[in-house]
A and B are shown apart, each in its own frame.
Chain A
Amino acid sequence: MSFMNGGGNPQLNRHGELNHLLTIEGLPREVLERILDTAAPFTEVAEREVKKVPLLRGKSVFNLFFENSTRTRTTFEIAAKRLSADVINLNINTSSASKGETLLDTADNLAAMQADMFVVRHASSGAPYLIAQHLRATGRDHIHVVNAGDGRHAHPTQGLLDMYTVRHYKKDLTQLTVAIVGDVLHSRVARSQIHALTTLGVPEVRVIGPKTLLPTGVERLGVRVFNDMREGLRGVDVVMMLRLQNERMQGALLPSTQEYFKSYGLTPEKLALAKPDAIVMHPGPMNRGVEIDSAVADGGQAVILPQVTFGIAVRMAVMAMLAGN
């Protein structure tokens, strides 16, 4: 089976509209901008007495989380509920998968329950693709799939909410220098950020981290590589911190977390090398004292909590666009 519609992009339908959101890589700039533009009016919904719009009324959204997550699952749930959808959360660690049911059998069973959308998080890269491909191959393309993080591969709604945040504070993306700092190797967030930033025309994207935590050949994604954090932060407009992913760490890539903080922890002293109006972002959850100093995390330049708020609007926009296409 193959995806021949939507110019070969499995995420687009034959009209070039978003049918699934699986990755930012390969999405046209207009599609990304359309999502960000659409998210803006959704931010206002949260300020109303009734924080709901009726777009997904009568639709069933299944949160399929094969891997633990609190923030992402919660914000997807809130977003779907604010769109008036019925939300069903499945924590698959404790359910059928542990009894041996395959991923596609799980999807088939939920499709038989008249699912309209799957929000999928999985430890294996490509799991949401597999579901989308299966739905298309079996003529059930009206069920939309949103990738909520797959292995080391992609976390597109996180990348989009980060772009929304940058645009909110910096307006014009085409004049910016953005640094992504930390464990790029294990980070699906970093991959989504890099693709989004380069697609949206950010002229200079830097990645900063120790050689052991940067993927080989990362510069082929169009980024400048720095192993010295002080050098890399000089003059940047935006600092995107990454979480040190202890649970994904195989073998000894780092001497110790204390050692890591010394070299790659964002302290007020290191942040002072960036532009004075630079913003600091973090996808959460933060390891205070490991990748970020509390003085920075709670400081005036941090926009980490607004990221969470914007994340709901961005996820509302994505789900509303998918459901309408």
Chain B
Amino acid sequence: MPQRLPLPDAEALCAALAEAMRPHVDRAATALVGIHTGGVWVAERLHAALGLKLPPGSMDVSFYRDDFHQRGLHANAKTSQIPFEVDGAHIVIVDDVLHTGRTIRAAMNELFDYGRPARIDLAVLVDRGGRELPIAPTFCAHALSLPAAQMLALEQAADGGLSFRVIEK
């Protein structure tokens, strides 16, 4: 058994992330977009904690992934929903774990098909390292280093509670 670090408390990280973002968001004008699936749960938490007026959006970046030609179309792709005007908006893309940065690139590409935002920020619970693109989070609640063979996944329990789990690839 490899030595395993204790995993961070996802709920505590959500609260910390909200506090880090608070001075930088405009409650009336900032919009969140969560990336399926974990990012959507985090965006819901942040939306409530920050008391934002605009409803949170959600995106499934399956149609924009750069590994489509190797891996094919992701099963169970969800419908993206952007319930606000993207042109000129301040948007915070929200995800649970930042890894290679490829998902964020896909998410930005997808967002631009809805319009031209004035500014895009990135908020993540955990930055686990391993970047393959020049992408950095604006807000990050926790940083840790994981081997490439391990995947950090956010899970939601039946009672709605969020927690992290490590999956061996």
Contact = CB atoms under 8 A, between A and B. Distances in A.
Interface in A306-325: 320-321, 324-325
Given A44-B80, A49-B114, A34 B75 contact: yes
A321 to B, nearest CB: 5
B77 A38 contact: yes
Interface stretch (B46-54, B60-68, B135-143, B153-161): B60-68
B79 A49 contact: no
B72 A53 contact: no
Interface in A38-57: 38, 40-45, 48-50, 52-55
Of the four ranges (under 10, 10 to 19, 20 to 34, 35 or more), the interface on chain B belongs to 20 to 34
B169 interface: no
A324 B71 contact: yes
Contacts of A38: 73, 75, 77
A324 B79 contact: no
A298 interface: no
B73 A320 contact: yes
Interface in A199-225: none
B79 A55 contact: no
B113 interface: yes
A41 B115 contact: no
A231 interface: no
A37 interface: yes
Nearest to B61: A53
Nearest to B69: A324
A41 B64 contact: no
Contacts of B115: 49
Interface string A283-325: 0000000000000000000000000000000000000110011
A52 B73 contact: no
B145 interface: no
Interface string B78-90: 1111000010000
Of the four ranges (under 10, 10 to 19, 20 to 34, 35 or more), the interface on chain A belongs to 20 to 34
Contact of A44 (B64, B71, B73, B79): B79
Contacts, number: 51
Given A49-B115, A52-B113, A53-B64, A44 B72 contact: no
A172 interface: no
Nearest to B62: A41
A17 interface: yes
Nearest to B76: A37
A302 to B, nearest CB: 25
A48 B114 contact: yes
A321 B76 contact: no
A325 B73 CA distance: 8
B168 to A, nearest CB: 23
A234 B112 CA distance: 51
Contacts of A41: 60, 62-63, 77-80
Nearest to A83: B63
Contacts of A45: 63
- Candidate in B63, B78, B80, B110 with the most chain A CB atoms within 10 angstroms: B63
Nearest to B110: A53
A52 B112 CA distance: 11
B73 A324 contact: yes
A54 B63 contact: yes
Contacts of B71: 324
Contacts of A320: 63, 73
A325 B74 CA distance: 11
Nearest to A40: B79
5 contacts: A17-B72, A41-B60, A49-B113, A50-B112, A325-B72
Interface of A: 17, 34, 37-38, 40-45, 48-50, 52-55, 320-321, 324-325
Given A54-B64, A55-B68, A324-B73, 11 more contacts: A38-B73, A40-B79, A41-B62, A41-B77, A41-B79, A42-B63, A44-B81, A49-B115, A50-B113, A53-B113, A320-B73
Nearest first, the 5 closest Cβ-Cβ pairs linking A and B are A324-B72, A53-B63, A50-B113, A324-B73, A41-B79
